[in-house]
Amino acid sequence: MTAPAATPTHCPYCSLQCGMQISRTGRAGIEIGAWPEFPVNEGALCRKGWTAAGLWGSRERLTTPLVRDRVSGELRAVGWDDALDLVAERIVELQDAHGKDAVAVFGGGGLTNEKAYQLGKFARVALGTSQIDYNGRWCMSSAASAANQAFGIDRGLPFPLADVEHADVVVLVGSNLAETMPPAARHLDRLRERGGRLVVVDPRRTPTAERADLLLQPVPGTDLALALGVLHLLDARGAVDEAYVAERTTGFDDVRRAAAAWWPERVERTTGVATDELHALVALLTGAPRVMVLTARGAEQHAQGTATVLGWIDVALALGLPGRPYAGYGCLTGQGNGQGGREHGQKADQLPGYRMIDDPAARAHVAAVWGVAPDSLPGKGRSAYELLDSLGRDDGPKALLVHGSNIVVSAPNATRVTRRLEALDLLVVCDLVMSETAALADVVLPVTQWAEETGTLTNLEGRVILRRRAVSPPEGVRGDLDVIAGLAARLGCAAPFPTDPEEVFAELGRASAGGRADYAGISYDRIARENGVFWPCPAPDHPGTPRLFADSFATPDGRARFVVPEYAGPAEPPDPAYPLHLTTGRVLAQYQSGAQTRRIRALTDDGPFVELHPMLADRIGAVDGEPILVRTRRGELRAPARVVASIRPDTVFVPFHWVGANRLTNDALDPASRMPEFKVCAAEVLVPVPEPA
């Protein structure tokens, strides 16, 4: 018997988008194998990738539409036509009564480019609503905002990930990639084998920090003060690349003045990082030509996230790094399609190709592709948290359609957001499984996943990759593109909504042509032939752009912008009632809200837990493995204590993959990116009174 042919495709989870091969085994099984030729992961996968088939054929999969019975309150199975008819009727009723913005759409950073594009078009053309945003606001939006301000373009990494191993020094600010994307950590290991140095900035000594030559553990929410302290010392030591600053940037004088106030002792008082550690960091930065500064969620998920990233970009610019081979600044995007998901129109202020929705020329271009009048396109809507917080209110949407997001677990201040979802007249959720958000819905639509469908994603390097269909979906399940087309037809929309992903991608290419994220020269054939194509790629004969900024930046004058970041600190500092910092993050075995990974038996369900330092544990009488209570101004969580010396004594950590962590987090928003402050809020911990037996 010959072995079944394997289909090369990509992992369903994070932004590394590791290549993998899928084979059918027997009648019901599928097997995941290595795809060594795909350059990003060279055949390596993490535990999540190796076990990704666990949901295929699982009894947890939804296979029929469900509608909530008005009398019993239970969800009952209905046919697809009945479900879509009901949703379309309710949309028309609500829009007739309250206007077009009465219906909102919420997307996800895991959706393929085709789905994200079609969802944006559906909202603007079929629904006529301005109320669309997505969970990418939770993840990368502060780095996007900062990169757009400084460089005129937002592509997570402006160079291939493999460049990391050729740097002399890499500074990771708020990234735990050894746990969140383990195959990427081999670049750090090779860097160190070559004699390169690794610096990690993180309040926790994570598995990534264990690899570091220098670990700085600042107080959560103070990374910007650290960046300003670095700028201060670079200037004081005469280490600023004055020629680069003069030729390739504007605005340094103002940053120089702002950084002058951040002398090392002040930085130590603010961040808790000792002055000798700050000097050691600056010595590493100035001792080698090829330095990379990479930020991730630890730097970004703050009410000052944009300013914090700008501070680290200022450091990179002062050293003359962006555009230099094997050097520069980059953001390590998190979600599977965090990059592409923010480029093609599911964001409240954007149209495909990273065009801005309030730009008349952008509106005219996209409207022509869609065959509608530019004036018919709605304007800018609310950002993700503001949209969720407005649901069911007098001036807010009365209906929400959710694709690819588990809001109940992933939104900040989740109890408040859950109340807003409950206040809706209509909640429609498209999902694979009965997520916590789907469980609240009036209508649940079962959709395809990962290897059951074809589509493109754009990984953390800006490489557009093709996730191929390798297996058939369960009977009764439809793709999101079919759901969108079915609703658009029922709403009487004349514009076409194709369901073939390759056709959608070709239309996306036309809509993005001439935009900042130009995909016009990319096709499925090219992606397959070339193992991915880096945008911008404006024409079929264009080679794509693996490296940006060699000659100029994407600003009108071609120069990068220094922006002065004003330090303010966490939105909710500790006080006598809540004397600790709470920070949140990920663990190796789980992905995002855990809707998929918590259902895979091979992944240990070892959470949630509360990580705290032995000194803190001693002070409150907490015992490793025993229950502990974390309380903030918004809620509380009871979970086993994990007592570790790797965290600051003034900080506790909770992973966010389980219900409860985000009941604690703060919904303070960054003024530019509108990203919530997931990474720090004031908290207290105590040993709870035992529950009665």
Which residues make up the interface to ligand SF4 (CB under 6 A)? 11, 13-14, 16-18, 41, 45-46, 48-49, 181-183
Q: Which residue has the tokens 């036509």?
A: 81
Q: Which is nearer to ligand SF4, 42 or 626 (CB)?
A: 42
Q: Which is nearer to ligand SF4, 18 or 164 (CB)?
A: 18
Could you give the 3-state DSSP secondary structure of residue 411?
A: coil
Q: Which is nearer to ligand SF4, 14 or 517 (CB)?
A: 14
Q: Give the pairing type, strands 66-68 and 75-77.
A: antiparallel
How large is the C-alpha radius of gyration of the chain? 24
Amino acid at 685: V
Query: What is the smallest separation between the CB atom of 103 and ligand SF4, expressed in angstroms?
Result: 34
Query: What is the smallest separation between the CB atom of 515 and ligand SF4, expressed in angstroms?
Result: 27
Query: What is the smallest separation between the CB atom of 504 and ligand SF4, expressed in angstroms?
Result: 23
- In the DSSP assignment, the letter for residue 647 is B
CB atoms within 10 A of CB 683: 25
Q: Which is nearer to ligand SF4, 17 or 662 (CB)?
A: 17
Query: What is the smallest separation between the CB atom of 326 and ligand SF4, expressed in angstroms?
Result: 23
Q: Which residues pair with 22 in a beta bridge?
A: 7, 32
Q: Which is nearer to ligand SF4, 14 or 316 (CB)?
A: 14
Taking alpha carbons only, the member of 119, 54, 12 closest to residue 336 is 12
Residue 252: alpha-carbon gap to chain centroid: 30
Residue 574 and residue 616 in contact, taking contact as beta carbons nearer than 8 Å: no
Taking alpha carbons only, the member of 49, 562, 586, 114 closest to residue 332 is 586
Q: Which is nearer to ligand SF4, 110 or 381 (CB)?
A: 110
Q: Which two tokens stand for residue 561?
A: 């912008």
- In the DSSP assignment, the letter for residue 567 is P
Q: Which is nearer to ligand SF4, 334 or 474 (CB)?
A: 334
Q: Which is nearer to ligand SF4, 156 or 570 (CB)?
A: 156
Q: Which residues contact 523 (CB under 8 A, 6 or more apart)?
A: 505, 506, 509, 540
Query: What is the smallest separation between the CB atom of 116 and ligand SF4, expressed in angstroms?
Result: 18
Query: What is the smallest separation between the CB atom of 11 and ligand SF4, expressed in angstroms?
Result: 3
Altogether, the residues listed in the chain come to a count of 693
Q: How far apart are CA 670 and CA 300, in angstroms?
A: 9
Query: What is the smallest separation between the CB atom of 330 and ligand SF4, expressed in angstroms?
Result: 17
Which contiguous run of DSSP H or E holds residue 417? helix 414-422
Could you give the 3-state DSSP secondary structure of residue 223?
A: helix
Query: What is the smallest separation between the CB atom of 303 and ligand SF4, expressed in angstroms?
Result: 28
HSE-up (13 A, CA, CB side) for residue 546: 11
Q: Which residues contact 27 (CB under 8 A, 6 or more apart)?
A: none
Query: What is the smallest separation between the CB atom of 398 and ligand SF4, expressed in angstroms?
Result: 37
Q: Which is nearer to ligand SF4, 123 or 600 (CB)?
A: 600
Query: What is the smallest separation between the CB atom of 534 and ligand SF4, expressed in angstroms?
Result: 18
Query: What is the smallest separation between the CB atom of 44 and ligand SF4, expressed in angstroms?
Result: 8
Nearest residue to ligand SF4 on Cβ basis: 49
- In the DSSP assignment, the letter for residue 560 is E
Query: What is the smallest separation between the CB atom of 451 and ligand SF4, expressed in angstroms?
Result: 13
Residue 132: alpha-carbon gap to chain centroid: 17
Q: Which is nearer to ligand SF4, 35 or 312 (CB)?
A: 35
Query: What is the smallest separation between the CB atom of 618 and ligand SF4, expressed in angstroms?
Result: 37
Q: Which is nearer to ligand SF4, 46 or 125 (CB)?
A: 46
Q: Which is nearer to ligand SF4, 13 or 505 (CB)?
A: 13
Q: Which two tokens stand for residue 613?
A: 């330092």
Phi-psi region of 17 (alpha: psi -120 to 50; beta: other; left: phi over 0): left
Q: Which is nearer to ligand SF4, 460 or 504 (CB)?
A: 460
Q: How far apart are CA 457 and CA 467, in angstroms?
A: 7
Query: What is the smallest separation between the CB atom of 180 and ligand SF4, expressed in angstroms?
Result: 7
Query: What is the smallest separation between the CB atom of 642 and ligand SF4, expressed in angstroms?
Result: 23
Lateral strand order in the sheet of 7-10: 7-10, 19-25, 29-34
Q: Which residues contact 294 (CB under 8 A, 6 or more apart)?
A: 157, 164, 170, 171, 172, 173, 175, 329, 330, 331, 332
Q: Which is nearer to ligand SF4, 41 or 512 (CB)?
A: 41
Q: Which is nearer to ligand SF4, 177 or 233 (CB)?
A: 177
- In the DSSP assignment, the letter for residue 463 is E
Q: Which residues contact 177 (CB under 8 A, 6 or more apart)?
A: 184, 185, 188, 208, 296, 332
Residue 202 and residue 298 in contact, taking contact as beta carbons nearer than 8 Å: yes
Q: Which is nearer to ligand SF4, 45 or 517 (CB)?
A: 45
Q: Give the pairing type, strands 560-561 and 627-631.
A: unpaired
Q: Which two tokens stand for residue 659?
A: 């219900």
Residue 651 and residue 203 in contact, taking contact as beta carbons nearer than 8 Å: yes
Query: For residue 536, which phi and psi values (nearest 5 degrees)?
Result: -70, 145
Lateral strand order in the sheet of 103-107: 75-77, 66-68, 443-446, 426-431, 399-403, 103-107, 132-134
Q: Which is nearer to ligand SF4, 49 or 446 (CB)?
A: 49
Query: What is the smallest separation between the CB atom of 183 and ligand SF4, expressed in angstroms?
Result: 5
HSE-up (13 A, CA, CB side) for residue 22: 23
Exposed e or buried b per residue across 220-245, where buried means at least 16 C-beta atoms within 10 angstroms of its C-beta = bbbbbbbbbbbbbbbbeeebbbeebb
